Amino acid sequence: MTHTEAGRYLRLVVAEEAPRTGDTPDSGARRVWEIAFGLAARRRFETDSPLAEIGRTVTAAVRSAALPLLEAEMLVREALGEQVPVDGIAESVRTAVHLLVFARLADELALTDDELDSLIAQAEELAAAGISPRSEPTGVP
């Protein structure tokens, strides 16, 4: 399956083979990653999944990158449709969380290569179509 450059990079992140670059990703790439992150989060968790369970995933994903735990947890909860305080989270933190937590979620879901390709392709299609798959905020605070 042929992916966009952003999709190919995401694939490499999951395989832990992504090169470290100093380049700032463009908004299109960030959009693909954000959507893929949301799709994976909603495949892995229910909207009312225990925060302890979400926290374990987040901690495992971002611990080595020294990213803020609570911000990462909030981004997952936002992707699940919760109304949470996410204003002002730096773009660099958002991007890193989207990439690293996506990789962790793919691992926890034990996605096959085909499933992973399909999920990334879905994110690329949604990004290209300008569609936000984000859940509407639920009654869950």
Partner 1 sequence: MGQTGTLYTAAGRLLLDALGEKSPARSLSHCAGSPGAVRLLRELFTVAVRRGFVGRDPRDITAYVRDLLDYQSLPAGGEFARQAEAVMRSVLGEPEVAYAVSDRRRFELICLMVGDLVRPPGVPTGELVALMRQAERRAARS
Q: Is the dihedral of CA 27, 28, 33, 37 positive or negative?
A: positive
From the list 123, 115, 117, 81, the residue with the least C-alpha distance to 98 is: 123
Per CB under 8 A, does 82 bind partner 1? yes
Nearer to partner 1, 19 or 88 (CB): 88
Per-residue binder mask for partner 1 (CB under 8 A), 28-57, x = binder: ----------------------xx---x--
Nearer to partner 1, 66 or 110 (CB): 66
Per CB under 8 A, does 23 bind partner 1? no
DSSP-assigned letter for residue 123: H
* 72, 58 contact by CB (below 8 A): yes
What's the full length of the chain, in residues?
Answer: 141
- Choose which of 36, 62, 74, 105 interacts with partner 1 (CB under 8 A): 74
d(C-alpha 11, C-alpha 26), whole Å:
17
Per CB under 8 A, does 79 bind partner 1? no
d(C-alpha 28, C-alpha 47), whole Å:
27
For 58, the enclosing helix (H) or strand (E) is: helix 51-62
Nearer to partner 1, 78 or 124 (CB): 78
Per CB under 8 A, does 97 bind partner 1? no
- Choose which of 13, 86, 93, 109 interacts with partner 1 (CB under 8 A): 86
Tokens of 4: 């966009």
Per CB under 8 A, does 78 bind partner 1? no
Size of the site for partner 1 (CB under 8 A): 18
Binding site for partner 1 (CB under 8 A): 50-51, 55, 68-71, 73-74, 82-88, 140-141
